[in-house]
Amino acid sequence: MFLGHPSNLDKIEKHLCNGAPLLETLSLRVRNWGPTLVLPPTFVKAVLFYLSSLTVRGATLSLGPCQLPLLTRFTLETHVVSVTSAVLLDTLEQMPWLRVFEAKLDGSRQDSVPSNRVVTLPRLEWITITISEHRPTPLANAILPALCLPSAHRVNMRWITAPGAPLSPVLPVSFLERLPAFSATRKVSVDLDKDLNDVKFFGSHKSRLTLSINSVVPYAFGSSTFGGTPFDSVRKLQVRFRSPNVDSLFFVRFLRIMERLECLRMEQNTLWPLAYWIGSDGQAGICPALVALTVIDADFNKAKLYIQELEQVRERAGVPIPHVEIRYGWDDTDDDHYPPSTLYDN
């Protein structure tokens, strides 16, 4: 439904003066209305009250004091210059049964919210936030620190920004407190490419929670980059190098913060990351608890030489790797296609 002018709200409301109990899915599109689509209570009650799925394109939605008690899915796509975070949080608070929330803030910048503002979405299971900025200005995700998601099992964040743009911290410091099931992250999966980095954090075996962070720009990894992520609980890491031209500095810095990492698996294009790891200073501080390393690469012979050199470097630093396995191939989805692997214990 395209709302070309505010007066159209009244016309639609008159046609649906008795409500629309059979209307379950609705898409509203606006243009040149400013940053916020303010819907009067009479319109909300007549048109939106019985919805289970709502999509708004072109502006942030404001419901005022009205609730959408049956809404389970909300999608927001906006190209406005500024997104009023407080209004967006107010709107989410009026959706008590919301299970899926998707927001695409293309070219938008969010204002800050008070540090003590917390909106709990008790039934939200899936949230995706995409922030796109094509100018060299910092990106921020203002609403995420204010959301408490006790039932979430999939959180997906995607950053698309101009080259050279400064990035604010990917996760707020308070993020761990907002995702109670995330306090015991045991496994992390990373896909590194020249155009897209994808980092997935998995909750404990009792939790279905997955946190996925996508970025089209490699960021220089630092201890504050991932804010409240519980790296000290990570025991298993799987890294796929999708391209030979990946950010090996990111990879090694990633390893440094995982002080309790026990199992590391590296797949595809591993030669340059291995070489960078071998040449890095402070080897004793790079995943010092590592006990098992698996490397899968099509260039089997070179990978074997790099692994042997890495082992020597680790041995001299006092952090040997007891169990090492080298396999030929691109992944480990079908072991029958691989020649016998080299497996040895130190």
Other beta carbons within 10 Å of 46: 20
Model confidence at 336: pLDDT above 50: no
Quote the strand ranges of 89-196, DSSP E: 100-106, 109-110, 119-120, 126-133, 147-148, 154-161, 187-192
pLDDT at residue 321 is higher than 90: yes
Query: Which pLDDT band, with edges at 50, 70 and 90, does 119 fall under?
Result: very high
Encoded tokens for 191 = 């896909």
What confidence score (pLDDT) does residue 344 get? 44
Q: Quick check: helix, strand or coil at residue 160? A: strand
Give the DSSP H or E segment for 54: strand 53-57
Query: Tell me, what's the pLDDT at 346?
Result: 47
CA dist., res. 173 & res. 167, Å (int): 15
Q: In whole numbers, what is the pLDDT of the chain averaged over residues?
A: 81
At residue 101 the predicted structure's pLDDT band, cuts being 50, 70 and 90, is very high
pLDDT score recorded for residue 195: 72
Position 335 confidence tier, pLDDT thresholds 50, 70, 90: very low
Provide the pLDDT confidence category of residue 33 given band limits of 50, 70 and 90: low
Where are the chain's structural domains? Answer: 1-182
- Other C-beta atoms closer than 10 Å to the C-beta of 270 total 25
Per DSSP, helices labelled H in 179-328 are 248-257, 271-278, 300-317
pLDDT mean over 149-172:
71
Task: Give residue 141's pLDDT.
Answer: 65
Q: Of residues 287 and 45, which shows the higher confidence score?
A: 287
pLDDT of residue 337: 39
What residues contact residue 60 under an 8 Å CB cut-off, 6+ apart?
35, 36, 37, 76, 78, 80, 83, 84, 87, 88, 91
| Residue 260 confidence (pLDDT) | 94
Contact 148, 120 (CB under 8 A): yes
Q: Please list, in sequence order, all residues whose beta carbon lies within 8 angstroms of the beta carbon of residue 297, skipping any fewer than 6 positions away.
A: 266, 267, 268, 269, 270, 271, 303, 326, 327, 328, 329
Say if residue 259 is exposed, middle or buried (CB neighbours under 10 Å; 0-12, 13-18, 19+).
middle
Q: Are 103 and 128 in contact (CB under 8 A)?
A: yes
The SS3 assignment for 93 reads: helix
The pLDDT value recorded for residue 275 is 96
Once rounded to an integer, what is the mean pLDDT over residues 325-333?
A: 74
Residue 4: what pLDDT? 61
Q: How many CB atoms lie within 10 A of CB 251?
A: 22
CATH of 1-182, one of 1.10.3470, 3.30.230, 3.80.10, 3.90.550: 3.80.10
Amino acid at 23: L
Do you know the residue count of the chain?
346
Torsion angles phi and psi, residue 28, rounded to 5: -110, 130
Would you state the pLDDT for residue 139? Answer: 46
Q: What percent of the chain has pLDDT over 90?
A: 37
| Better-predicted residue by pLDDT, 204 or 50 | 50
Kindly give, in sequence order, each residue whose CB lies less than 8 Å from that of residue 313, ignoring residues fewer than 6 positions away.
278, 283
Print burial letters for 53-90: b (CB count within 10 Å at least 16), e (below 16).
ebbbbbbbbbbeebbbeebbbbbbbbebeebbbbbbbb
Q: Would you state the pLDDT for residue 308?
A: 96
In contact, 187 and 155? CB cutoff 8 Å = no
Q: Kindly state the tokens that stand for 158.
A: 């995607």
Q: 125-142, pLDDT tens digit by residue? A: 999 988 776 554 444 566
Most confident of 96-100, 153-157, 176-180: 96-100
pLDDT digits (tens, 9 = 90+) for 207-229: 778 888 777 655 555 556 666 67
Mean pLDDT score, 3-25:
67
Alpha carbons 217 and 68: distance in angstroms, whole number: 38
Per-residue pLDDT, 332 = 47
